[in-house]
A and B are shown apart, each in its own frame.
Chain A
Amino acid sequence: MKRSRRVVLTLMGSAAVSAISARLAVARPVMCGPGYEAVPGPDGFPNCRAVTHGFGGSLHHISGHGHGHAHAGG
């Protein structure tokens, strides 16, 4: 017998967690250390944040066949 189960979902179908992306213009130059970049903080003053966009570049080279945006799975 390969059927004897209940499948329960807790997160899907409701409000899902979404990735937060903050891309705002830097108001004035700020010196951040190695591995950091300056980004605007919530108070309007620049914060130093870890460098991002080190992964994901290949998505922009691959066209999304029928899916709109590129699909990394297979």
Chain B
Amino acid sequence: MQRISCPERDDWRTTAEACGFDFHTIDGERYWDERAYYAFTLEEIEEKIEAPTGEIDAMCLELVGRAVGDERYLKRLKIPEAFWPLIRESWRRDDASLYGRLDLGFDGQGTAKLLEYNADTPTSMFEAAVFQWTWLEQAIERAIIPNAADQYNSIHERLIEAWKKLGQGRHLHLAGATDNQEDAGTLAYLQDTATQAGLATTLIDIEEIGWRDGSGFVDLGYSDIALAFKLYPWEWMFQEQFGANLLMAPTRWIEPPWKAVLSNKGILPLLWEMFPNHPNLLPAYFEDDPGAQELGTSFVRKPLYSREGANVSLISEGVAFAQAHGPYGGEGFVRQALASLRPFDGQHPVLGSWLVDHTPCGLSIREDEGPITGNNSRFIPHAIL
């Protein structure tokens, strides 16, 4: 694994905006950054990232199967009891999942380590599936990268195939925060792939989802919402006014309710408990577990629920040397061992390993000068050399 500096395409901004990638720069700061790329060998991709991703996903599914049958797990994950039947029923029906993104720590040495699983509302999908592919093709044409370069990326076509399976002739609604530029971009891309799969689609803001007694969730035209993709987390929906309606509604959600088990950093200690010393896991404990003492005075402290690194702290010998602020942590924290990863030119990369329909199929990389990946961390393309 290498980080290789390279020239930018002089028209990359125009290229980005022409395909709807409006959020390439956020608040004046680079988000998309092609002044460098990460290079991997094919062996690294296949053996160190792709295969472990499939294995971790399988372990996670085993965890869900155990959790839905044992309320101790759901209690430890702080999932409200009112929604346990919703989660259990969606698992029993085998409600389909579209996608997820594992965040892995890997520096080319040793094995990739699971840092967390974005199982419910992963973003950076358009950049991963489309724009970094466009970069690869154009960078080869312009001799920025070697002619034989490849990329671990079959996300786009797998999304279309997955939508064909998921659609089953139903109309798809896509809902989220449409006034957030990044989320709107992700929704637009997923709508595009669903349309290419032959689904009729409607985009709706999450706040515009309506409820009609005797019918269920409806859109602004009063049409029933039978199949809904949401870029909006389960843990928020559970505590909102329509949360109680979820159990009454016939709507099938993507991602399905059982994914609420996995979109929770509590899975880190639970996986460690189920699969101790697995090569792709880091030791992890709930903060109130006496076993957390095993980590000593150096660890990463993460809230059960958070996103984009918010409220994560890195502690070394009892002193927090990196901390991200935010509104999360009310449900409690986990502690995970510090992964000893080397920086690359002063940058700390985190590998986002994508699954579509439970198939590992692509890689996205975010890097930051600091050790916590946050909302402003840059997206860097990759190539296989």
Contact = CB atoms under 8 A, between A and B. Distances in A.
Q: Do A and B come from one complex?
A: yes
Interface of A: 1-3, 5, 7-13, 16-22, 33-36, 49-59, 61-74
A26 B196 CA distance: 40
A55 to B, nearest CB: 5
Contact of B177 (A7, A21, A72): A72
Interface string B102-131: 000000000000000010011100100110
Contacts of A69: 177, 179-181
Interface in B181-234: 181-183, 186, 188-189, 191-192, 195-196, 201-214, 218, 220, 222, 231-233
A51 B186 CA distance: 27
15 contacts: A2-B384, A5-B156, A7-B133, A7-B134, A11-B192, A13-B20, A49-B222, A53-B241, A54-B211, A55-B240, A56-B205, A56-B232, A65-B376, A71-B308, A72-B232
Interface of B: 18-20, 26-27, 29, 42, 45, 118, 121-123, 126, 129-130, 133-134, 136, 150-154, 156-157, 175-183, 186, 188-189, 191-192, 195-196, 201-214, 218, 220, 222, 231-233, 236-237, 239-242, 245, 307-308, 310, 326-327, 374-376, 384
Contacts of B201: 17
10 cross-chain pairs, A with B, having the tightest CB-CB distances, nearest first = A54-B242, A73-B123, A50-B210, A74-B307, A12-B20, A35-B213, A56-B207, A58-B236, A19-B205, A3-B150
- The main secondary structure of chain B at its interface with chain A is mixed
Given A12-B188, A55-B207, A73 B183 contact: yes
